[in-house]
Structure 1
Amino acid sequence: MRLPIQAVGLMVLMILAPLSGCFGENEIETLDAGSLSISDSDALQAGMWQTITLQASNDLAVFVPYFIQDPGSMRAQNGTVLDMKSGDKVSMNILLPPRNEEIVFFLGDIGRVNWPIREPDQSWMAWLNNPSTGSSVEAVENLDVGGMWPWLVPGNVTGGDIIPLVMETSRPFRSDLTEENGVGASDGWVNGRDVYDWVDFITDDTPCATCGPDGAVGYLDRWVGNANPSYEHAVTYFEGVMLGYGLDRVEVHRFQSNTAWSVNICGYKDGSVYPNEWLIFGAHFDIAPPVAYTPGAEIGIPGYGTRHGAYDNAAGSSMVLTT
């Protein structure tokens, strides 16, 4: 007995119907937030480099939108996408944002390369409430020598639905501080309390007749050159601070144009993996001279020539000294 071709086709469709959720774009329906587990997810630390382990219970791709260290090149990169088979484990060195109480990884079908991202001025938690905003990224080959995990570059399509895996973080803090004096930003890879302490010290105008040409505890009148003794006093001090950090070397570079002169204080830490490449982190420590005083600075309007230079640029110098 022969069946019409239409009948055979109908039978095939009926047999395959229960399996349709395992194919194509519907495969994400087999995934949920429990498809990926994170070791010690109840002890994730914000603002600190730490090693976590990802374990998949289904075949999946995971989009990690935070700073990670590629295990091959040893470089830090801003996120990655990893394909994982069921049962796979991956250890990852990661830096989670210091001010976020929650972080999120995103899951999708294995092999997926296109993913949506939030707006630059938007948190991931806010984006989850309105995922129609933002743009997209694409996972591409890592071209670093030894690079293993894909880079993320701007994309053209979002790739469709994603499954968020939301986890809580906590930030370490100093036990000797309270909320009023900055306990919430008192620890971490770069912590705000140490930065504040440096700003407070550099701009300390407490009178001190024996502290140097500023006549104050801090380093105040540090405008550029022209035989300004306060500037030279600050140069000597910051050079000594950097020498105390145990760097490979500290060099003071002087530049002069006519009667004006300025100084760069450079601390060097030589690399072993990439000795011929440079990573530069810097800030200017001079301030504008008092003749450039901006009216309004005395009531908190940012300006120049205030003698203290906390806004411009003791804050930047303090970031360098803290890092």
Structure 2
Amino acid sequence: MAGTRGLHAMALVLIMFMAPLAGCFGENDGNAVVTVDDAMVTPQVMTAGVFQGVTIVAEQDLSAFIPYLIIDEETNYVVNSTVVDLRAGEQVQLSMLAPPRADMGLILLGDYGRENWPIRDANESWATWYSEGGHKSADGGAIVRMGQENITLNASQDTGGPAAAYPLTFVRPVAPAYSSDEGSRHSTGLVAGRSTYNYLHHLTDETLDPLDLADGAVGYLNRWAGQANAAYEDAAVYLINELEAFGLEVITQRYEFTDVFGNQNPESYNICGFRYGSEVPDEWMVFGAHFDVAPPANALLLDPHITGTRTYGTGVGAYDNSAGTSMVLTVAEAMSAFETRRTMVFCFWSGEEGGKRGSDYWTDYYVKEDNPDVTVTNYINLDMAGVNWPGGGGAPHGDPATTVDPDGYPKDEEVWPMRVYLGPSLDHDVINQPEMVG
């Protein structure tokens, strides 16, 4: 019994002796486990679709991986994801963009100075990844941080092991001016589908306007390129005014071409708005769409839905290409306020219906000859995007037809698939929009 009491006494002495040293060893052994209780993130309910302040407070030493667009407070650049290191008691405030089409998000937490982090696959949402335990798995996608101050994130094969996942709720408000059927669920945020629709509606508005001598309509119709077409010139002035209102420098390039009848046509021109980069202004990221439309090509110059015969052009051009024009306007309005390393250029091409004349002229002459030091690093073309037209059937019994009409326009066998996926609808992780063609 005496020996047993001696062992107990020795154990108690060792426990008391080791207690003051436990923290010292714990800081260096790398085995401390960070949990969601070791940090506080506010607000926990974020407004989706806009940049807003997010504060992370550390209860113990930790690192946090924020996998969303962030505005760097030193450069004012928008960066894609970042990692911050926080000692116990420290906090950091970030300007973060909560995605507009997600209901929840995550901030991952790990040991202080952690370099490798798990991430979702490109074809799944963070919500799906989280629900399937992706943050607990050592497999799957991963990134690695490079540097301690000017952090960049690169793809990696090493996830670094499990990470704590701090959940956030994203809520996208609806504009009270619109009903659900009118797009209220997509009417707010930095970029909103309703804004694109408003541009599209304005460009294609066929309401009669007897005071408009260009096309007799509220919108901008019949804007086929060249031949001193007043409607085309009217639409060009509208686009120039919009780009200038966004604070962009607008540069136009008129050019001459020979039309199909052998006539010289000096009246076409491109319109581009420039937001110059602050570090590498000679590297250009270009967003482009042609804004000319095709005139009806039948003998009576009538809309093919009226004649019921296969022809070319409508004079309105909602699909080809007021849709793309509206998307470039929306993007230009949203992005023109941001500082960028490279120059952003928002262009509206002319003469596309005659064979990409405008964009060819711009690249062959304006870029290569007039600006030989420029490199176009990225180009996004928005042409006939987002509308499932013609959809089949056509005149004389509507789009789409329920029965085959061999004389209808467009032909039922010419049904086109949707070029750009507009969904999903209520399920953010499932491609299930009704009538979608795969």
TM category (shorter chain) comes to 0.7 to 0.9
| Residue aligning to 1:8 | none
Q: Taking structure 1 as reference, are residues 36 and 282 closer, same or farther at Cα in structure 2, changes over 3 Å only?
A: same
**Alpha-carbon shift at residue 308 of structure 1 (Å):** 3.5
Matched, 1:104 2:106: yes
Question: Contact 1:139–1:152 at 8 Å: present in 2 too?
Answer: yes
CA distance in structure 2 between the partners assigned to 1:277 and 1:97 by the alignment: 31
Question: What are the Cα deviations for residues 5-51 of structure 1, in whole angstroms up to 9, with x where unaligned?
Answer: xxxxxx9xxx89x9998765643xx3211222122223x11111111
Name the aligned partner's letter for residue 266 of structure 1.
C
- Asked if 1:140 corresponds to 2:146, the answer is yes
Match in the other structure for 1:255: 255
Return the letter of the residue paired with 1:196.
Y
One-letter code of the match for 1:250? V
| C-alpha spacing 1:311/1:149, structure 2 compared with 1 (3 Å) | farther
The CA distance in 2 between the partners of 1:256 and 1:58, in whole Å, is: 68
Cα distance change on mapping 1:284 and 1:223 into 2, 3 Å: farther
Instruction: Identify the residue that residue 128 of structure 1 maps to in structure 2.
Output: 130
In 2 relative to 1, CA 110–316 (structure 1 residues): closer, same or farther, beyond 3 Å? farther
Greater Rg by CA: 2
Change (3 A) 1:183 1:312: same
- Residue in structure 2 matched with residue 83 of structure 1 by the alignment: 85
Q: CA deviation at 1:221?
A: 3.1
**Residue 222 of structure 2 is aligned to residue 217 of structure 1:** no
In the aligned structure 1, how far is the partner of 2:284 from the partner of 2:99?
Answer: 21
Q: Structure 2: how far apart are the matches of 1:267 and 1:310?
A: 22
AA aligned opposite 2:291: D
Moved more, 170-179 or 101-110: 170-179
Aligned runs of 1:285-300 on 2, under 5 Å? 285-287=290-292, 289-290=294-295
Check 1:316–1:33 CA distance in 2 against 1; reply closer, same or farther (3 A cut): farther
- How far does residue 284 in structure 1 lie from its aligned partner after superposition? 1.6
How far off is 1:97 after superposition?
0.5
**Corresponding position of 1:114:** 116
**96-105 or 199-208, larger mean C-alpha shift:** 199-208
Shift of residue 66 of structure 1? 0.4
Three-state SS of the structure 2 residue aligned to 1:71 is: coil
TM-aligned CA distance change 1:129 to 1:39, over 3 Å = closer
Relative to structure 1, is the Cα distance of residues 209 and 73 closer, same or farther in structure 2, using a 3 angstrom cutoff? same
Which residue does 2:204 correspond to in 1?
203
What's the TM-score once normalised by structure 1's chain length? 0.76
Question: Could you tell me whether the CA contact under 8 Å between 2:293 and 2:321 is conserved in 1?
Answer: no
Match of 2:159 in 1: 158
> Can you give the 5+ residue segments of structure 1 that lack an aligned partner in the other structure?
1-10, 143-147, 299-303
% same residue? 33
- Do the aligned residues in 1 keep the contact of 2:296 with 2:314 (CA within 8 Å)? no
| AA matched with 2:147 | E
Distance in 2, Cα, partners of 1:137 & 1:319 = 32
Spell out the pairing of 1:1-323 with structure 2 (5 A cutoff): 26-27=31-32, 30-42=33-45, 44-130=46-132, 131=134, 134-141=140-147, 148-225=149-226, 227-243=228-244, 245=245, 247=247, 249-258=249-258, 259=264, 262-269=268-275, 276=281, 280=285, 282-287=287-292, 289-290=294-295, 305-322=313-330, 323=333
Work out the number of aligned pairs and report it. 291
Measure how far apart 1:79 and its partner are: 0.4
User: What per-residue deviation string (whole Å, max 9, x for no partner) do you get for residues 222-247 of structure 1?
Assistant: 3444554432221122123334x162
Output the amino acid matched with 2:324: G
Other structure's SS at 1:86 match: coil
The match for 1:7 is none
Distance 1:103 1:292 in 2: 52
Q: CA RMSD in A?
A: 3.4
Instruction: Give the Cα–Cα distance (whole angstroms) in 1 for the partners of residues 37 and 231 of structure 2.
Output: 61
CA apart distance, 1:176: 2.2
State how far apart, in whole Å, the 2-side matches of 1:186 and 1:291 are: 34
Deviations 1:157-189 (A, max 9, x none): 111111111111222332222212111122211
**Is contact 1:103-1:166 (8 Å) kept?**
yes
CA contact (8 A) 2:71 2:79 kept: yes
Of residues 210-219 and 56-65 in structure 1, the stretch that sits farther from structure 2 once superposed is 210-219
1-structure distance, mates of 2:297, 2:153: 44
Structure 1 Cα separation of the partners of residues 292 and 123 of structure 2:
30
Opposite residue 39 of structure 1, the aligned amino acid is T
Q: Which residue of 1 aligns with 2:424?
A: none
Secondary structure of 1:313's counterpart equals helix
